[in-house]
Structure formats: C-alpha cells, structure tokens
C-alpha cells in the first residue's frame, strides 16, 4: 500500500510545475495593465508609472519573473495582493472556510440524493421510476448554473420569500467567527435564531452548486450498477436466496463504487469552478468571488496564488481517490 501511495504521490511534481506555469501565464494573457487598473481615474505620470513598473518587477524579462515566482512558491511565499497589501496566504485561508462550507454542503446533497437515485434507477431499469430519475438528472446536468440560481432566487426568495437573496447571515446578528464556518460559529454563539439564519442563507447556494454533481453521480451510479448486476456472482447471490436489499446494497453497490468514487473526486473540481459563479450570484464571501474580483483588478499575486492553491487541493482530492481505489479493491494496489 505504501508503494502504491508513493507512486501516485510522484505524479504531483510535474503536475505542480505545470499548474504553476499555467497560473502565472493565465493572468498575463488577459488584456489590461495592472498598474493602470490600480490607478483608476486618477491617472499616472510617466515617471510614476516607470517607478511602479520597477517596484512590481514588470520591467524584467518574463522568464525571470516566472523563475522568481516559482522560487517564492517553493519557499511557501505566494506574494501579497497589489490592492490590499496582505499576503495571499492570509486572504485565501480567511475566505476559504466560506467556500469549503458551501462546497461540503453541496457535495452532501449530491451524494445523499445521487447515490440512492442511481441505485433505484438501475434496479428499476426501463420502468417509469428509471425514466423519471434519469430525465431529471439530465435536466439538472444541462441547466446553466447562473440560470438555475436566478430561477431559484425568483421563486424562493422573491415570490415565496423563504430564503435570503445573498450573504451568509442576517445583519442583525454579530458574533466572533473564529473558525470561518458560519453554521458552527452561529451555533456556538448561542444567539437565538443565528443558526437558522445561517442555514437559510446556505440552502439555495448549496442546492445550486450541488445540482450538477448530483446529476453526474446519479447517472454514473446507475451505469456502474447495471454493469455489476449482470455479473455471475450477482446471479449466484440471487440463487442462494439472499434478499434484494443485501444483493443491491452490499454486493452490487460496493463493486460499483470505484467509478462512482472517481466521479465524486472529479466533482470537487466542478464544485470549485461552480463556486465562482454561485458565490458571485449570491454574494457569498468565498474564494470564488475573491478570484473574480481579483481578475477584474488584475491583481496578479492573488489570481496566481488562488489558482495554484485550488489546483493543489484538487490534486490532493484526486490522490485521495486513488488511495481509496486500493481500499475498495485491493487488486488495484498491485498495478
């Protein structure tokens, strides 16, 4: 198992260097000069512009800038924001709990609803329940996030007024948030109604963000279950008189989990990408909205550091998924 883990870990090195290069190049291909953007309507004299160009190192060759950036990353220094003058590390991990809370709740919704839906669709293959579930999954996968979010806001926030439109909690509540996870901090504050308010703010963004992963998990679970249900050992289990619940829930589902776990792992990237739109629409103060604002401001260190940290997290999740393969199916460890 240790050798299997070490082999997967070695793939981190070229991927990390590639992501570093991409994050460095991405912001620089966008039109717009960060110095002019920071100056705004005030404008700059030629002397001041030249001074700031030297100060930020933009007068050096691009390969020298990349080499300095890579050395800084390897030393754990992602630089500091051009706008706020704060280290990128500090800003990222201040805002990341909001995104993590939203993504975790979205994934819980996707897994809790997607797995049973896929199993039921496979067991009821070709019947009405199968058609309804898979049609719903196709619709959920096809809907653009921004359209789905606006539709839910109109219905549940505008017409029914059940949920707030934006933010993480009502303004009437104020308490320390040491963890950054609003649900926990609201519950720990002891203020009456604070937890319910935080939960109401979380519901719509989590549903919007979890819709596409839910649809993918449901369809993948159905496909994997159908393949497993046709195996000889399943027919043998039926011949032994085992209950359908035991056959489908233990023998079939466990062997169908590998492709499903793969989809769940890949959905982390989908969640982080979807969080950018979702957080922007719902004014959710997480890293998605932070990245969008930084792109508009041409804040190079923030965009570079944010992309790199997000990519590393996705890489860690993929590594975890690879290790889970070995746990679910020990034969994979020898490959």
pLDDT at 2: 66
Paired tokens of 264: 């769940």
pLDDT at 42: 64
CA torsion through residues 325, 327, 329, 333, sign: positive
DSSP readout, 199-221?
Answer: HHHHHHHHHHHHHHHHHHHHHHH
Paired tokens of 319: 């590594």
Burial class of residue 166, CB neighbours in 10 A (0-12, 13-18, 19+): middle
Q: Is the pLDDT of residue 330 over 70?
A: no
Q: Calculate ∠ Cα 315-318-321, nearest 5°.
A: 155
C-beta separation of 220 from 260 below 8 A: yes
Q: Is the pLDDT of residue 233 over 80?
A: no
pLDDT at 144: 86
Q: Is the pLDDT of residue 297 over 90?
A: no
Categorize the per-residue pLDDT at 33 as very low, low, confident or very high, splitting at 50, 70 and 90.
confident
**Closest-CA residue to 217 (of 295, 278, 287, 271):** 271
Paired tokens of 119: 């199993």
Categorize the per-residue pLDDT at 43 as very low, low, confident or very high, splitting at 50, 70 and 90.
low
Q: Is the pLDDT of residue 197 over 60?
A: yes
Percent of the chain at pLDDT above 90?
A: 18
Among the residue ranges 60-69, 93-102, 243-252, 286-295, the one predicted with the least confidence is 243-252
C-beta separation of 118 from 221 below 8 A: yes
Domains along the chain with CATH numbers: 1-83+299-335 (no CATH), 91-296 (1.10.3720.10)
pTM assigned to the model: 0.81
**Closest-CA residue to 207 (of 139, 155, 149, 286):** 149
C-beta separation of 208 from 148 below 8 A: yes
Q: Give the mean pLDDT of the chain.
A: 83
Q: Is the pLDDT of residue 334 over 60?
A: no
Categorize the per-residue pLDDT at 327 as very low, low, confident or very high, splitting at 50, 70 and 90.
low
pLDDT at 325: 65
pLDDT at 11: 73
Half-sphere exposure of 39 (CA within 13 A, CB side): 15
Give the tens place of pLDDT for each residue, 131-176.
Answer: 999 999 999 888 888 889 999 999 999 898 899 988 888 888 888 8
Length of the chain: 335
**Closest-CA residue to 146 (of 241, 281, 330):** 281
């Amino acid at each position: 198992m240790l050798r299997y883990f070490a082999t997967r870990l070695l793939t981190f090195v070229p991927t990390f260097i590639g992501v570093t290069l991409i994050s460095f190049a991405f912001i620089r291909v966008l039109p717009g000069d960060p110095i002019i953007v920071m100056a705004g309507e005030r404008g700059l004299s030629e002397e001041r512009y030249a001074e700031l160009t030297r100060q930020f190192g933009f007068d050096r060759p691009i390969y020298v800038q990349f080499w300095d950036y890579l050395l800084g990353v390897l030393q754990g220094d992602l630089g500091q924001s051009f706008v706020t003058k704060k280290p990128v590390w500090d800003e990222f991990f201040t805002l990341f709990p909001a995104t993590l809370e939203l993504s975790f709740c979205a994934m819980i919704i996707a897994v809790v609803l997607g797995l049973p839906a896929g199993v039921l669709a496979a067991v009821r293959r070709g019947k009405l329940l199968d058609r309804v579930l898979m049609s719903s999954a196709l619709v959920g996968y096809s809907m653009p996030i921004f359209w789905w979010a606006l539709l839910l806001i109109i219905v549940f926030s505008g017409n029914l007024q059940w949920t707030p439109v934006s933010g993480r909690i009502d303004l009437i509540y104020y308490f320390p948030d040491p963890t950054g996870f609003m649900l926990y901090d609201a519950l720990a504050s002891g203020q009456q109604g604070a937890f319910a308010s935080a939960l109401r703010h979380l519901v719509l963004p989590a549903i919007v963000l979890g819709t596409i992963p839910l649809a993918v998990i449901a369809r993948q679970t159905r496909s994997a279950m159908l393949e497993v249900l046709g195996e000889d050992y399943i027919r043998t289990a039926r011949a032994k008189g085992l209950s359908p619940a035991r056959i489908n829930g233990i023998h079939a589902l466990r062997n169908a989990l590998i492709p499903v776990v793969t989809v769940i792992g890949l959905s982390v990237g989908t969640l982080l990408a979807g969080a950018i739109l979702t957080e922007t629409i719902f004014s959710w103060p997480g890293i998605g909205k932070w990245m969008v604002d930084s792109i508009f401001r041409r804040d190079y260190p923030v965009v570079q550091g944010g992309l790199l940290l997000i990519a590393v997290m996705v890489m860690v999740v993929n590594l975890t998924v690879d290790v889970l393969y070995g746990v679910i199916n020990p034969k994979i460890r020898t490959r």
